[in-house]
Structure 1
Amino acid sequence: MENRSDLNLSGIGKAQGGSYSHIRLDGMTKINGDTECITLDSNGTLTVEGALQSDTVSVNGTATVEGGLSANRVVLDGMVTVKAHAVCQDLLTVNGRLSIGSRLDGEKVEVFGSLKTRDDVQCEVFSVHGGFSVDGLLNAGLIDVKMNMPCRAQEIGGESIMIRRLKKFSVLEQFVPSLSAKLQAHTIEGDEVDLEYTEAEIVRGNDVRIGPGCKIGRVEYKNRLKRDGDAVIGTAHQI
C-alpha cells in the first residue's frame, strides 16, 4: 500500500486503471481498466472502463462503472450507473439516481431519489425517500419507504416493513397512472407489515396493517390484521 501513488486529474483527462492510494478527479475523466484505491473522489463526469474497488467512494455529478463496484462507504450525488454487481459493506447513500445492472448487497442503503437494480437487493436497512425498481427480491431487516414516485419489486421480505406516501394524489396521476406514487409487488412477507398505497397479490405477516390506497389479493396473518376502510382485500386468513 505504501508504494501506491495518488491520482489527481483536473479538466479533461484519461488514466490507466490499476492500484492507487487516493484518487481525486475534477472535470471529465476516463479510467481505462479495473481500478483499486483507498479513496475515490469525483466531481464532474467519470467513466471507469472496468471494475472499481475502494474503501470509500464519493461522486458529485455523473459516473459510469462498466464493471462491478465494491466499497465500504459510498456517497453518490447525481446520476450513477454501475453495470454489474454492486457491494457496499457499510453505508450506501444515494442523493439522485443510481442504476445497477445486477444485484446490490450492502449493510445500510439510504436513497433520496431513485434506485434501480436488475436483480436482488440484500441489506440490513433499506430506507427510501423517493422511489425504487427492483427486478427480483428486496430483502432487508428494516424496510422504511416514503414514496413520491412509483416503486416496484417482484418480492419483498423483511422483519419490519413500512410503506408510506410523501405526497398527496395529484391530477397528473389521474391521467398517467404509471406516475402514481405507489408500490407494486407480487409478494410481501415480514414479521411486522404496515402498508399504504400498495398493490400486491399476497401479503404475509405476524402483525399486518393494510392502509389507505391498498389493493391486496390475499392476506395471511398470524396475530393481528388491521384494515383501513379504504383498503381493498380479496381474502384474509389467520394462520
Structure 2
Amino acid sequence: MERTEMRISGIGNSQGGYYSHVRVDGMAKINGDTDCISFDSNGTLTVEGSLQSESVTMNGTAKIEGRASANRMMLDGLVTIKDQAVCHETLSANGRLSIAGGLIGEKVEIFGSLKSGGGVQCETFNVHGGFNIDGLLNAGMIDVKLSIPSKIKEIGGDAISVKRFKKVSVLEQFVPAFSARLQAQVIEGDEIDLEYTEADIVRGNVVRIGKGCKVGRVEYKDRLIREDDATIGTAHQM
C-alpha cells in the first residue's frame, strides 16, 4: 500500500491510515489507527486509535487511545497511552508518562514520573524521579534515583539499585506523604542495593539494606550488608 505524508499546522483533524511521515504542529486529532514510518508532534495531540511507527517524537501533551508500538520513542511533556506500549529499542520520557496496559521495551529511561496500570518488562530500566507500577517490574538492570514517592508490587532483576536523587527537603521532613521513598511488596534479584525503601520481602544473592530502609524479611544467599539505621524484621541465609 502506498504511503503518503500527513502534515497538520495550527488546529486540524485527520483520518488515520498508512503514512510515510506524520508531522503535527499545534492542536490536532487523528481519527483511527495510524501506521507510519515516523511520527512527530509538537503541541496538543489526540490519536483516536492505535499508533505504530518506527520512530515517535512527542513534545507537549499527547493522548493515544489505543496501543502504541515503535522502535524508538522520545516523549517530552504529558503523554497518556490508554493501552499497552511496546518499544523495541529505546523509550525516553521527560515529564509524566501514563500507560494503562503496561510496557514492554528494551531500554527505558524516565526523567520524571511513570504510571503503569500493568507490568513493565525490559532489559534496562533507569529512573530519575519516580514511578507507580501496578504489577511486576522485570528487567536485567534497574537503576532508580528517587525524587518523588514511588510504589510497586514486585521487582525482579539481575542488578537492582534504589537510591535518592536529591537531599531531603523541609517539606518531606514534616509531611511523610511527600517523602521520596519506594514502597514494594517483593524485591528479588542477584545484586540488590537499597536505600529509602519499604518492602515486605527482599531476596537476593548479595543484598545491601541501606539508610532509610524498612524491610520485613531479607533472604540472602552470599552476603547481607546492613546500614546502622536500616530496619530488618528477620534475616535468613538461604
TM-superposed CA distance for 1:81, in Å, is 0.1
**How far is 1:138 from its partner?**
0.6
Task: Give the AA of the match of 1:46.
Answer: L
Cα distance in 2 for partners of 1:55, 1:161 equals: 30
Residue 91 in structure 1 maps to residue 93 in structure 2: no
Q: Partner letter of residue 39 of structure 1? A: S
Number of the residue aligned with 1:115: 114
Q: Distance in 1 between matches of 2:233 and 2:170?
A: 28
The ranges of structure 1 where at least 4 consecutive aligned residues each deviate by more than 3 angstroms after the TM superposition are none
* TM-score normalised per structure 1: 0.98
Partners of 1:19 and 1:163 in 2: CA distance: 42
Residue number in structure 1 paired with 2:181: 182
- Following superposition of structure 1 onto structure 2, how do residues 1-239 of structure 1 map, counting pairs within 5 Å? 3-239=2-238
User: What TM-score does the superposition give when structure 2 sets the normalisation length?
Assistant: 0.99
Which 5+ residue runs of structure 1 have no aligned equivalent?
A: none
1:47-93, Cα deviation, whole Å (9 max, x unpaired): 00000000000001110000010000000010000000110010000
| In structure 1, C-alpha distance between the alignment counterparts of 2:35 and 2:28, rounded to whole Å | 16
Count of aligned pairs: 238
User: How far apart, in 2, do the equivalents of 1:182 and 1:191 lie?
Assistant: 22
Residues 96-144 of structure 1: per-residue CA shift (max 9 Å, x gap): 1100011100000000000000010000000000000100001100000
Which letter maps to 1:227?
R
2 CA distance for matches of 1:46 and 1:175?
Answer: 39
Structure 2: any 5+ residue segments left out of the alignment?
Answer: none
1:6-33 alpha-carbon deviations (Å, 9 max, x no partner): 0011000000000000001100000000
User: Structure 1 CA distance, aligned partners of 2:31 and 2:24?
Assistant: 14
Aligned alpha-carbon RMSD (Å): 0.7
Question: How far 1:175 sits from its partner (Å)?
Answer: 3.2
CA distance in 1 between partners of 2:4 and 2:57 (Å): 19
Q: What is the one-letter code of the residue matched to 1:233?
A: I
Q: Secondary structure at the match of 2:172?
A: helix
User: How many Å separate the matches in 1 of 2:94 and 2:204?
Assistant: 32
Q: Give the % identical residues.
A: 67
Give the deviation of 1:171 after TM superposition. 2.1
| Superposed displacement of residue 188, structure 1 | 0.2
Letter in 2 for 1:188: I
